Structure 1
Amino acid sequence: MHTDFDRCVRAVQSKDARFDGWFFTAVLTTRIYCRPSCPVVPPKVENMSFYPSAAAAQQAGFRACKRCRPDASPGSPQWNERADLVARAMRLIADGVVDRDGVPGLAARLGYSTRQIERQLLAELGAGPLALARAQRAQTARLLIETSDLPMAEVAFAAGFASIRTFNDTVREVFALSPTELRGRTRGGARPAAPGALSLRLPFRAPLCPDNLFGHLAATAVPGVEEWRDGAYRRTLRLPYGHGIVSLRPTPDHIGCHLSLTDLRDLAGAISRCRRLLDLDADPVAIDELLRTDLELAPLVDKVPGRRVPRTVDADEFAVRAVIGQQVSTAAARTHAGRLVTAHGEPVDDPAGGLTHLFPSTAALADHDPEALAMPRTRRATIGGLIDALAAGDIALGVGSDWDRARAQLTALPGIGPWTVEVIAMRALGDPDAFLPTDLGVRRAAAGLGLPATPGALVRHSARWRPWRAYAVQYLWATDDHPINLLPEG
C-alpha cells in the first residue's frame, strides 16, 4: 500500500487507525516516522514519505514519534493473510527465529537461500531480515525499559542485543532518547510485582468482538493448561528459552496482557504468539465489508461485527487436540486432553491461579501408551500416527509452514479427514480462507439462513466469501447458543 501515495495521504489526513501497521509516514522536515493515525497535525503533503515497515523507516534515518509510538501499532494483516515466502518469513522473524538462529536459520526453516530471502524482503519491505529483527529488538527493549525495573544490561540481553553499546546506540537512534531517558518518561507508572512479570497492552484494529474469541478459548480450555479466571483467559506457554504464563483480558480498546516468563528473551516471541492466538492483526473492516456483500450473511455481520478467528500459541498442540476432539463433545475432548497433560505434561507453578502443566511436547507424547486413551482403537492409531509424524519432523505446522504442503501432509495420515485438516488449517496454520463445509454447526446455520446446506453447494456458494471463509465460519457458528460463542462470566 505504501506505493499508493494519494491513498496514504488520505489515510494520514483522516487519521484512519485502520491503516496503522499497513504503512508508516515519514516526515522529511522533522526526520520522524509515525503511524497514519498520529494525533499531531498532519505534515504538508510535500513533506510526507511512506515506508512499508518500521525497519525501512529506521534504515532511512527516521526516528519513532514519541506521541503515536509507531513501533507499537498493530502488525500488518498481510503476514497473517498470506502464505508466500515474505509472509512466512515475517511470521518467523516475529517469533524470534533470526535472533535465535540468525538469517541462515531463517533460510533453513523456509527452504530458500539467504540471498533469495534478503532480496524478496528488501524488494517488498525495504529492509532485510537483520534490519527487521533489529526493529523488533528495539520494540522489545522499549517494553522492558518501560514496564520493568531490570538493569539496562539485563534489558539489552533479554531484548536480544549482542552488546550494551549496540543496545544504547539502537535505542538512541530509534527513539531519540537514551535508555535511561526513555525509562524516566514512564517512571511514575506501575512496576511488576515479581521478576519476569510484565504487564502491557496489545493493540488491535477495531471493531473486535470478544464473545466468540474468548468464549471459544474458555469453553475448550484443557484443565491445568488453560483457564478462565476473574475475567481473563490464562494459559501456560512453551517457549524457546523456557516457559511462561499469560493472562489476556479483553477491554474496549486493547487486550490487557500480563506475562510471567522464566526467561525474558522469550518476550517478543510470547507477544507474537498471543497476538496470533487472538487474531489481533486482522483487518476486520475489510473482512466484514466483503462478507456483507452476501445478503444472507450480512445481518450476522451487522449484528456483531469484528469477529476474529481464535487460533493457537502452539500448532502441534492444537493438531493433537483437534484429532482428540474428532466426533466427541467439547467436554469429552477436554477430558481426554487433560489426561494426556496429567500423564505427560511438564509441571509448572502458578501462584496466581490454577494452572499446573505445560501441554506435553510431541517428544513426550511419542512415549505415551495409546491404550491409556479411552477412545476407539482407530482414533488412538490416528493420534499415534500424528504424534509420530510431528515428533519426527515429517509434518511442519509452525508459523513459517507452507499451508498447502501442510494440508497434503495431514491428509496423507490415516484417519485424518477434510474436517480435521481444515480445522487445523484455520486455527493452527492461520489460513483465513480455511472452510468447513461438512461441519454440522456450519450446515445447520447455513440452512437456517437460507444458504445451501449440502457441502458441495455450500463450497460453491462460499466462493464469494474468499479469501475470508474462516471468518464466515465464525459468523455461522455464532448463530448457535453454544458456550463457544459466549463471553464467560466472572
Structure 2
Amino acid sequence: MIAEHALTWSPRHPTDLHQTIGSLRRGPGDPTFHVDAAGGLWRTTRTDEGAAALRYTQPAPDELRCEGWGAGARAAVASAPELLGERDDPTGFDPGIRMLDDAHRGNPGLRIPRTGRVLDALVPAILEQKVITLQAHDSWRRLVWRFGEPAPGPTPRRMVVVPTPERWASIPVWEWHGAGVDPRRARTIVNAARYAARLEEAVGMSPEDAAARLTLLPGIGAWTAAEVAQRALGDADALSVGDYHLSNYVGHALWGRDMTDAEMVEAMAPWAGHRYRVVRLLGAAGVRDRPRRGPRMPFVDHRAI
C-alpha cells in the first residue's frame, strides 16, 4: 500500500508513539482509531483540505513515520510531528518527589500531543460532561458511525472520519436522543459546531486566550476547555479542574488523602506549566485510583427519558 503522502523524521525529544497518541482514542471501539497487527497506529482526521486516514509507525526508537491518504493527507502528514509532541517541551519540569521522578524516568517518551483541531476534541469532551466515560464513548461511537464519512485509503478495517461542523450542527433531536445524549449537551455541541471557525482560531492563541474563547459559549466551562487544550492545543499545564475523580486521584497518588479541587490546584503549584504532564505520568506509571468508598457516578440512559 503506497501512501499518497509520507514523512519520516527524528523527533527532538524521546517519543513513544503509543503513549503519546493514546490519549486521543475515545474508548476501545472508537471508529476513528485502530492499531493494526503490525503495531501501526491508524487515525482518521479532517483538515481544511478534506478528510484523511493516517498510519503512524515507529521504525526505530529515534524515528517516526506518518503515511496518509485522502484529500486532507498532505496537510495531516505535514502536521504529524506537531501531533506527536514536537512542540512539547519538558524543560523546567522538576518532579521533586520520588514517585514522580520514577514515573518521569520510566516514561521518557511520553509527549503531550497537539492535533490542532479544536472541534474534534471539543465534541467528545462535551459528550463526557457529567456522565460516566463508558456512556460518553458509546455516544461518540454511535454518532460518528452514523454521521461521519468513510475513511479514505487502505484502512485495515472499516473506519470513518468525524462529521464536518455543518453535519454536527444539522443532527436532528431524535438522533441525539437515540445516541443517549441529553438535550443540554446536544445543544452545546450544535452551538459549538455553528461557531467552529471562531473556535478553531484558539489554536493560534495563548492558553489563557484560548480558554477564554472556548468558555464564551454556553455549556463550555473550565473542565471542558482544559480537555480540549490537552489534545488540540498540546497544553502540558491544562489541568481538568472540576473532574469527578481527578482531585481525589491526584490527592491519594501524591499525598495519600482526598482533596478538593482548590486543594489540588494549590498543591500542584510547584509543577506550574506541567500539571497535565504530572497527571499523564501518574497514569503511565500505573498509579491506581483511591479506594472507592462513596457512590459511583450513575449511568443515566437518556434514551429512556
Alignment TM-score, normalising by the size of structure 1: 0.51
Summarize the alignment of residues 390-469 of structure 1 with structure 2, pairs less than 5 Å apart. Answer: 390=196, 393-439=197-243, 440-441=245-246, 443-450=248-255, 453-469=259-275
Q: How big is each residue's C-alpha offset from its partner over 1:18-59, in whole Å with a ceiling of 9 and x where there is no partner?
A: xxxxxxxxxxxxxxxxxxxxxxxxxxxxxxxxxxxxxxxxxx
Report if aligned partners of 2:52, 2:71 keep a CA contact under 8 Å in 1.
yes
Counterparts of 2:26 and 2:146, CA distance in 1: 22
Q: Which residue in 1 is equivalent to 2:127?
A: 324
Change in Cα spacing, 1:479 to 1:388, as seen in structure 2 (3 Å) is: same
Of 44, 53, 77, which aligns to 1:245? 53
Residue 232, structure 1, aligned to residue 40, structure 2 = yes
* Unaligned stretches of 5+ residues in structure 1: 1-192, 483-490
Shift of residue 270, structure 1, vs aligned partner: 1.8
Q: How big is each residue's C-alpha offset from its partner over 1:201-255, in whole Å with a ceiling of 9 and x where there is no partner?
A: 2321343344532433446366432212121221223233343211012341122
Of 42, 63, 88, which aligns to 1:254? 63
Report if aligned partners of 2:144, 2:160 keep a CA contact under 8 Å in 1.
yes
Change in Cα spacing, 1:445 to 1:458, as seen in structure 2 (3 Å) is: closer
Shift of residue 327, structure 1, vs aligned partner: 3.2
Q: How big is each residue's C-alpha offset from its partner over 1:58-111, in whole Å with a ceiling of 9 and x where there is no partner?
A: xxxxxxxxxxxxxxxxxxxxxxxxxxxxxxxxxxxxxxxxxxxxxxxxxxxxxx
Change in Cα spacing, 1:365 to 1:241, as seen in structure 2 (3 Å) is: same
Q: Give the CA RMSD over aligned residues.
A: 2.9
Report if aligned partners of 1:205, 1:283 keep a CA contact under 8 Å in 2.
no
Summarize the alignment of residues 65-214 of structure 1 with structure 2, pairs less than 5 Å apart. Answer: 193-194=1-2, 197-214=4-21
Shift of residue 474, structure 1, vs aligned partner: 0.9
Report if aligned partners of 2:54, 2:77 keep a CA contact under 8 Å in 1.
no
Return 207-216 or 356-365, whichever deviates more: 207-216
Q: Which residue in 2 is equivalent to 1:381?
A: 187
Q: Could you say what secondary structure the match of 1:201 adopts? A: strand
Change in Cα spacing, 1:478 to 1:445, as seen in structure 2 (3 Å) is: farther
Q: How big is each residue's C-alpha offset from its partner over 1:153-212, in whole Å with a ceiling of 9 and x where there is no partner?
A: xxxxxxxxxxxxxxxxxxxxxxxxxxxxxxxxxxxxxxxx54x52443232134334453
Change in Cα spacing, 1:480 to 1:380, as seen in structure 2 (3 Å) is: farther
Change in Cα spacing, 1:430 to 1:347, as seen in structure 2 (3 Å) is: same
Shift of residue 295, structure 1, vs aligned partner: 4.9
Q: Could you say what secondary structure the match of 1:383 adopts? A: helix
Q: Which residue in 2 is equivalent to 1:273?
A: 79
Change in Cα spacing, 1:315 to 1:451, as seen in structure 2 (3 Å) is: farther
Shift of residue 362, structure 1, vs aligned partner: 0.8
Change in Cα spacing, 1:397 to 1:212, as seen in structure 2 (3 Å) is: farther
Report 1 or 2 for greater relative contact order, CA contacts < 8 Å, sequence distance ≥ 6: 2
Larger radius of gyration: 1
Counterparts of 1:409 and 1:313, CA distance in 2: 15
Change in Cα spacing, 1:232 to 1:442, as seen in structure 2 (3 Å) is: farther
Change in Cα spacing, 1:402 to 1:355, as seen in structure 2 (3 Å) is: farther
Change in Cα spacing, 1:419 to 1:324, as seen in structure 2 (3 Å) is: same
Of 467, 477, 480, which aligns to 2:283? 477
Q: Could you say what secondary structure the match of 2:68 adopts? A: strand
Q: Could you say what secondary structure the match of 1:297 adopts? A: helix
Report if aligned partners of 2:88, 2:113 keep a CA contact under 8 Å in 1.
no
* Unaligned stretches of 5+ residues in structure 2: 289-305
Q: Which residue in 2 is equivalent to 1:340?
A: 143
Counterparts of 2:67 and 2:165, CA distance in 1: 27
Shift of residue 396, structure 1, vs aligned partner: 3.6
One-letter identity of the residue aligned with 1:428: A
Q: Provide the identity percentage.
A: 26
Change in Cα spacing, 1:255 to 1:394, as seen in structure 2 (3 Å) is: closer
Counterparts of 1:433 and 1:353, CA distance in 2: 35
Q: How big is each residue's C-alpha offset from its partner over 1:314-350, in whole Å with a ceiling of 9 and x where there is no partner?
A: 2211111111122334443332122222332233344
Change in Cα spacing, 1:418 to 1:262, as seen in structure 2 (3 Å) is: closer
Q: Which residue in 2 is equivalent to 1:55?
A: none
Report if aligned partners of 2:223, 2:240 keep a CA contact under 8 Å in 1.
yes
One-letter identity of the residue aligned with 1:246: L
Q: Which residue in 2 is equivalent to 1:363?
A: 166
Report if aligned partners of 2:117, 2:200 keep a CA contact under 8 Å in 1.
no
Q: Which residue in 2 is equivalent to 1:173?
A: none
Shift of residue 480, structure 1, vs aligned partner: 4.3
Report if aligned partners of 1:316, 1:397 keep a CA contact under 8 Å in 2.
no
One-letter identity of the residue aligned with 1:345: G
Q: Could you say what secondary structure the match of 2:160 adopts? A: coil
Counterparts of 2:253 and 2:287, CA distance in 1: 14
User: Which one has a larger percent helix, Structure 1 or Structure 2?
Assistant: 1
Counterparts of 1:363 and 1:222, CA distance in 2: 24
Report if aligned partners of 1:395, 1:409 keep a CA contact under 8 Å in 2.
yes
Instruction: State the number of aligned residues.
Output: 281
Q: Could you say what secondary structure the match of 2:204 adopts? A: coil
One-letter identity of the residue aligned with 1:255: L
Change in Cα spacing, 1:299 to 1:442, as seen in structure 2 (3 Å) is: farther
One-letter identity of the residue aligned with 2:189: I
Report if aligned partners of 1:200, 1:256 keep a CA contact under 8 Å in 2.
yes
Alignment TM-score, normalising by the size of structure 2: 0.79
Counterparts of 1:422 and 1:450, CA distance in 2: 23
